[in-house]
Amino acid sequence: MKRNESAEDYLEAILVLSKSKPVVRSVDIAAHMGFKKPSVSVAMKNLREKEHIKVSEEGFITLTEPGREIAEMIYERHQMLSDWLIRLGVDPKIAAEDACAIEHCMSRESFEAIKKVIQ
């Protein structure tokens, strides 16, 4: 998948929501991300076309295997970078925002190197 920050954020949101909800719907994603439902609907259409999600007749959204791989990669980066920045003394809100920005542009090689140092 070509790097697409917005798509990665949506996939991560679906993963996070699926950990706490029995089913994930567009309205849940909109509330979680602070977006309007029409924006989420367009994004879900794009993710469906790229085969990163499936949407049931009831409107329940699930990640496909490729979608889950991307979501888990972004989620791991976000959690690790955010926690690391907090340990360095960065305010938790700022750490989460910075981790969100960094997680999308970092190469796998750089992340793995940082991961070794952090752990």
Domain ranges of the chain: 5-64, 70-118
Question: Residue 77's pLDDT is what?
Answer: 95
Question: Residue 3's pLDDT is what?
Answer: 60
**Average pLDDT by stretches of 10, the chain with 119 residues:** 79 97 96 94 96 96 97 95 95 95 91 90
Q: What is the pTM of this model?
A: 0.88
Fold classified for 5-64? Arc Repressor Mutant, subunit A (1.10.10)
Task: Give 70-118's CATH code, choosing from 3.40.718.10, 3.30.60.50, 3.40.30.10, 1.10.60.10.
Answer: 1.10.60.10
Contacts 24+ apart (CB under 8 A), 24-33: 24/60, 24/61, 24/62, 25/59, 25/60, 25/61, 26/59, 26/61, 29/61, 33/9
